[in-house]
Structures are given as C-alpha cells and as structure tokens.
C-alpha cells in the first residue's frame, strides 16, 4: 500500500542518485513505448541478443533516442544495472498496459456516468481468432457526439450468449453499467439482431431503453447489393467487373502493363491539353475489386474502370494474343467483347450515376457526429434525387454515354431500330426499340428497384420514435416543434422521466425553451440536433433547461452507423499482421487502444503513466 514504508525498500538502502537514474531510465523507456504504441509498431525483434544488429524496434529506438542525450545514455542499456535495465518484455507489456488503462480511464471519465450507446461487431484477425470490438457513443460535456473504442476481446465463438458475457466482463472491468445504455448499433448479423436469441434481445431484456438501430451504412450497401443480385443485366455487369479484376490481378506482369498503359494515356492527354497538370493531379490508380461487405467499393470499381478503360482494353488484347494460359485468354476475350459493346458503356455510366448519389450518402452516414434524424433526412434526399434523375436524367446520361462511346470507337446503335435479344430465340419475344430497352428495361427499372429497396431497408426504424425526434429539428426556427410529441418521446425513457415528478415540469420547461430559442439570434441558423446541443452548452442553456437538454442527449446518443467499429478492424490488420500474429490478447488490446485512440493517449501526462506503472506491482526502485 505504501511502498516507501515496505520492508524490502528499507533493506535495499537506495541512494538519491539511484532514484534519479531510475526515473530517467523509466522516462526513456516510456518515451520509446509511447512512440511505438501511437504508431502501431511492434516492440520485439526476431533476435534480441547482444550480437544482433537488429534487436527489435523497442531496443533500436531506445539506442537512437538516448544516444545524443548524455544524461540518458549514461543510465540506460549497457550503462544500467544488469538486473534493472527496464527493457525486458515484461516491462514493455506493463508500460503498454499502463498507457492503455489510462487511455480508457480518460474515456470513461469523459463519459462521466452519462448515457451512451453500444456499437459492437466481430471479425477474424491474422491469427484466425474471432475478435469482438466494442465502441461507445456518447455526448461529452461540450455537447459534441463522440464515438470511442474501449476494447477488443477474443471470443471463442460468436453466439449471442458468448458476446453478451464478453461485454458484461468488459463493463465490469471498466466500471460501466448496461443500465446507462440507451442504444445498440450492429451490422445486422443474425447473432446480433435476432428477435429472440440475438444480442439485441439479451440486452433489451436487461434494459428496455436500449433501442436497436441497424447500421445505416450497412443497410445502404445491402440495398445496392440486392439490386445487383436481382436485376439480370446488372448482375452480369458486376460479374464481368469481378472477372476483370481477377484477370488484371492475376500476375504482377499484367499489373505493370496496365500501369504502363495508364502512364502512356496520361502523357497523351496532357500533350493534347485534355487534362490539366498540377500537384496531386493525374495520380496512378488501380482496378479496385467490388466487395459486398466493403462500403463504397462498387462505386470505386466503376470509376476506376472508366478512368482505365483504354489501358484495360489494351491489356485484354495482349492477354488474348498470349500463346499460353488458355483460361486467361478466354476470359480476356469475353471481357474485351463486353467492353466493346454499347450496352456495357451505358451500364457503366448508369451505375456510376446511381452509386455516386448513394456514395455521398454512405460517406455522410459514416461521420462520427452524425445524428439519427439528419441521417433519415439524408436518405430522403437521396431517394428524391434518384426520382428526379429517373424523371429527367435519361437524355443527359445517354448523351454522356455517346460521347464515351465515340471516344473509344464503340458502335452506337440507332435508338429507333428494333432491339435484338442476345442469346435468345426471337420467337414469342416482345419487340421494342433500343430506346425503349435502354430507357425502360434498364434505366427506369434499375432506379425503381433501387428506390424500392431503400424504402424497404430504412423502414425498420421505430417510426414513432423518429416522429418524436423530428420535433427537435432546429431548422426554420424550430418549425417542427411539437410539445406533445416531445413529451411522448420522454415517455420512451421512464427511468429518466418520472411520470409524476418530471413530465409536468418538462411540459412547462419546453414552453419556456421554445420561446427563448426562437427569440435568440444565435439559434437561427442551426441545421442539426448536434448543432443545437453545442449551442446550448455554449450559451449555458443546458443548465437553464436540464430536462430539455437531456431529451437532446438521448436523441443524439442513438447510433447511426458502425463505421467506427469498421475503422478499428482496419487498424487491427495493421497492428496484428501475419508476422505479428502471436501477440497475446492483453498486449494486443493495449496496442489497439493506444493506436486507435491516439488523440486521447497523447493528452495523458508521462508522470501519470509512470506513477500508474509504479503502482501496478512491487518495484525495486521508487520514483
């Protein structure tokens, strides 16, 4: 409890100089650990013996860092006592754990016992271990929406009961309670959203106020994939793009030929004045592979094919004429035949148009500070935009496709000619013109299917809850304000708003609030509920109207997308790769926390970390 009075310290007879040297040595090791942790770098090397010329990043960084500083170099590494160098693997892990623990404590302190939402997902790491990531969404003391990663847990299986037990264990360790959870956000997997045995249901059984929201960005991607799988021509189109990516990525030689073709194309276009030059322009691009679970990947694939159209055709002609590799020659011939058809060019630009509209929505939904009401509004804007394109956008799309076809010598059919059904008998088939085929069978049908799928996907949010949320919209001087619906919204949370004590006071408080903010010029130009929360804290109206501000916080806490969880998975592939796949679960969690939440980690004082490290177990020296 008090190390200075411990019998071991009394017998050790440590001098003041030894304590000073120990502090310098510990501070130096901590600085090196902080550098490696915030950059996601490994600590250990394959050979850390004295004869090795590459002893691992921790020791090599320690050498480099201490060399120009005489005060450090005199007390570290070979100048330190043999049994107290503070460079052992155990010391490295303790320093990492101290940094991670204080980072999480800073996050928990920022939550301050307030309400939060739970975002959870699982994925396999480089060691083929199932890892569950936990992110909390809350409103901080400034009124800003924050999403913070608090831990990654290895789970033996992905059943709902196992995930719930892992979450309970993590919350118990961190001093959090599920009773403060007011929202759940998952990607829609059956073990998460199951009505009877899913994680959502298990948490709702403990806390009925933890409303479930299916990740909006994931729903959007599913809507796009559904269209691609249920429209024959669109499915064939994306199958061809998948085959194209496979053929191009089949060898390093093909990639290099594609890059060279692209370079020659850029040089020609610059020489003709078709494209400008400047810093950051005309960068080398690659052919991206579409993926059902990778948000925005379909749009990136389509745009990369358009920009690399000529280099891809040149590459396919080379592969087609190769004397060997019959499978690649056959695929290249099919791809070349498809790319030289006007229908492929039309679908390419049609999907670029539709996916481009959805791509902006996808990126907006992935913002950490996005609120649920604004997200619903963005979905409505996209559906309106798609409907407007359907009504008035065909002629412009056809003209753009014709320009593209002329540029690459693709035959343009006469739109008044009768369309010939490819690969089918002409008997018993309805005859129509090319114009009807491209406008009705492709353009209108694909957009109608997309709009219908968006309606179906985004209709599963609690409608009544959204109607009440819309009354907090600050646009047009709080035009949607409705006191009765806001009181109904408060009744969704009986633990926060007592029917007898709080609801009558909330009614009068809402009346005063709306008169106050409509008369205040600072609240005129607000666009979202997030802006309203920030302005209330700035003007200290959260203190004047605490129940109204509580309503706003509960609205903001509701999750929109699990993008923060996906970002953690991206970091996981960097921190734990195939050469670093034996890292222990605890150390992996420490490395992930400090790397993902490096902004919070950077603000933690070195002295606090050293004191925490000192108190983790008995040490030979005292600070």
Q: 284-343: per-residue pLDDT in tens?
A: 567 777 766 666 778 888 888 888 888 888 888 888 887 766 677 888 888 888 888 999
User: In whole angstroms, what is the distance from residue 247 CA to residue 236 CA?
Assistant: 16
By three-state DSSP, how is residue 489 classified? helix
Give the pLDDT mean for 253-269: 76
From 121, 130, 48, 142, select the one nearest 89 (Cα to Cα): 48
- Both tokens of 108, joined, read 């928990």
Closest Cα partner for 351 from 412, 403, 300, 288? 300
What is the DSSP pairing of strand 145-154 with strand 130-139?
A: antiparallel
Report helix, strand or coil for 146. Answer: strand
Name the CATH architecture for the domain at 110-215+560-570.
2-Layer Sandwich (3.30)
Give the pLDDT score at 272. 67
pLDDT in tens, 442-465: 899 988 888 888 888 776 556 677
Of 182-191, 264-273, 484-493, 603-612, highest mean pLDDT: 603-612
Compute the average pLDDT of residues 438-445. Answer: 90
- Which of the given ranges, 1-5, 73-77, 104-108, has the highest pLDDT on average? 104-108
d(CA 371, CA 143): 13
148 pLDDT exceeds 60? Answer: yes
pLDDT for the residue numbered 421: 65
117 burial via Cβ count (<10 Å: 0-12, 13-18, 19+): buried
pLDDT at 422 over 70: no
Half-sphere exposure of 283 (CA within 13 A, CB side): 6
pLDDT of 357 > 90? The answer is no
Q: Count each helix (H run) and each strand (E run) in the chain, helices first.
A: 30, 5
State the average pLDDT over residues 159-185: 91
**pLDDT band at 273; cut points 50, 70, 90:** low
Q: Give the pLDDT confidence of 218-229 residue by residue, as tens digits.
A: 888 888 777 777
User: 558: how many CB neighbours lie within 10 A of its CB?
Assistant: 24
Q: What is the pLDDT of residue 12?
A: 62
Distance of CA 116 to the CA centre of its chain: 19
The pLDDT of residue 617: 84
Residue 185 forms beta bridges with which residues?
Answer: 119, 213
Which region among 289-303, 478-492, 584-598 has the lowest average model confidence (pLDDT)?
Answer: 289-303
Residues 6+ apart with CB under 8 A from 589: 100, 151, 152, 153
Residue ranges of domains in the chain: 3-98+587-615, 110-215+560-570, 221-457, 463-557
pLDDT for 251 beyond 90? no
Q: Greatest CA separation found in the chain?
A: 103
Q: What is the pLDDT of residue 8?
A: 65
Q: 3-state DSSP call for residue 214?
A: strand
Q: What is the Cα gyration radius of the chain?
A: 30
Q: Is 60 exceeded by the pLDDT of residue 428? A: no
Query: Of 359, 364, 292, 366, which Cα lies nearest the Cα of 135?
Result: 366
Contacts of 330 (CB under 8 A, 6+ apart): none
Are the CB atoms for 355 and 298 separated by under 8 Å?
yes
How far is it, in rounded angstroms, from Cα 286 to Cα 244?
Answer: 12
pLDDT band at 269 (very low <50, low <70, confident <90, very high): low
């Amino acid at each position: 409890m008090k190390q200075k009075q411990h019998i071991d310290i009394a017998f050790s007879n440590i001098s003041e100089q030894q304590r000073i040297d120990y502090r310098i040595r510990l501070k130096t090791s901590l600085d090196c650990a902080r550098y490696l942790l915030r950059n996601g770098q490994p600590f250990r090397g394959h050979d850390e013996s004295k004869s090795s010329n590459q002893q691992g990043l921790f020791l090599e960084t320690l050498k480099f860092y201490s060399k120009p500083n005489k005060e450090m170099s005199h007390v570290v590494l070979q100048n330190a006592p043999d049994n107290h160098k503070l460079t052992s693997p155990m010391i490295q892990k303790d320093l990492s754990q101290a940094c991670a623990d204080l980072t999480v404590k800073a996050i928990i302190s920022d939550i301050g016992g307030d309400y939060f939402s739970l975002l959870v997902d699982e994925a396999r790491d480089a060691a083929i271990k199932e890892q569950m990531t936990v992110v909390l969404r809350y409103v901080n003391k400034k009124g800003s929406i924050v999403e913070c990663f608090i831990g990654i847990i290895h789970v033996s299986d992905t059943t709902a009961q196992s995930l719930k037990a892992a979450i309970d264990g993590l919350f118990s360790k961190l001093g959090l309670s599920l009773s403060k959870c007011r929202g759940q956000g998952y990607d829609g997997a059956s073990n998460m959203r199951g009505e009877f045995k899913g994680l959502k249901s298990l948490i709702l059984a403990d806390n009925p106020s933890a409303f479930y929201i299916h990740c909006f960005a994931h729903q959007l991607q599913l809507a796009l994939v559904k269209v691609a799988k249920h429209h024959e021509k669109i499915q064939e189109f994306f199958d061809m793009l998948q085959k194209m990516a496979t053929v191009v990525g089949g060898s390093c030689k093909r990639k290099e030929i594609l890059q060279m073709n692209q370079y020659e194309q850029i040089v020609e276009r610059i020489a003709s004045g078709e494209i400008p030059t400047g810093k950051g322009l005309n960068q080398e691009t690659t052919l991206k592979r579409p993926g059902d679970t990778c948000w925005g990947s379909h749009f990136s694939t389509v745009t990369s094919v358009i920009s690399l159209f000529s280099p891809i055709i040149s590459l396919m002609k080379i592969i087609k004429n190769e004397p060997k590799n019959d499978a690649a020659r056959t695929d290249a011939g099919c791809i070349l035949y498809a790319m030289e058809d006007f229908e492929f060019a039309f679908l390419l630009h049609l999907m670029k148009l539709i996916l481009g509209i959805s791509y902006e929505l996808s990126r907006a939904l992935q913002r950490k500070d996005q609120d649920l009401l604004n997200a619903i509004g963005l979905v409505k804007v996209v559906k309106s935009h798609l409907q407007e394109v359907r009504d008035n956008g065909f002629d412009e799309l056809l003209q753009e496709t014709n320009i593209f076809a002329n540029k690459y010598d693709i035959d343009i059919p006469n739109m008044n000619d009768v369309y010939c059904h490819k690969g089918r008998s002409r008997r018993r088939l309805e005859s129509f013109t090319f114009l009807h085929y491209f406008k009705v069978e492709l353009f209108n049908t694909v957009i109608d299917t997309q709009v219908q799928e968006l309606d179906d996907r985004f209709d599963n949010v609690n409608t009544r809850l959204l109607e009440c949320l819309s009354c907090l919209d600050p646009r047009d001087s709080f035009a949607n304000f409705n006191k009765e619906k806001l009181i109904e919204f408060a009744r969704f949370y009986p633990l926060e708003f007592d029917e007898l004590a709080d609801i009558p006071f909330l009614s009068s408080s809402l009346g005063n609030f709306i008169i106050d903010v409509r008369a205040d010029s600072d609240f005129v130009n607000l666009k979202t509920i997030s802006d309203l929360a920030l302005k209330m804290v700035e003007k200290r109206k959260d203190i004047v109207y605490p129940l109204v501000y509580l309503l706003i916080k509960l609205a903001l806490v509701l999750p929109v997308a699990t993008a923060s969880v996906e970002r953690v998975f991206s970091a996981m592939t960097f921190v734990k790769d195939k050469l670093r796949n034996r890292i222990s679960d605890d150390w992996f969690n420490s490395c992930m926390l400090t790397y993902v939440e490096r902004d919070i980690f950077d603000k933690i004082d070195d002295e606090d970390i050293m004191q925490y490290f000192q108190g983790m177990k008995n040490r030979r020296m005292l600070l």
